[in-house]
Amino acid sequence: MPDIDGLVGLLKYTAALRQLPLGDTLCFTVRDADVYEALVRIVENDRHCRMRVAETAEGRRMRVTRI
């Protein structure tokens, strides 16, 4: 999945997450702090997802796995 920046990226992510099969992982970089906070809330509220976050020069690199 490409880098996520802005509201359009957030909408694309939520659509991709809904279609993600069990056991698969989405990897992407988030550049926008507000979008990052929204994504964290979405993932934390989904009991079937786990995430890992790493700080990079481009933004925050997120790996979200559907369990």
Residue 22 has pLDDT above 70, yes or no: yes
The position carrying tokens 């796995």 is: 65
Q: With beta carbons less than 8 A apart as the criterion, state whether 23 and 67 touch.
A: yes
Distances (CA, A) of 44 to 41, 49, 58: 5, 8, 23
Least Cα distance to 63 among 37, 29, 36 occurs for 29
Which residues, 6+ apart, have CB-to-CB distance to 22 below 8 Å?
Answer: 48, 66, 67
pLDDT tens-digit readout, 24-57: 999 999 988 998 999 999 999 999 999 999 999 9
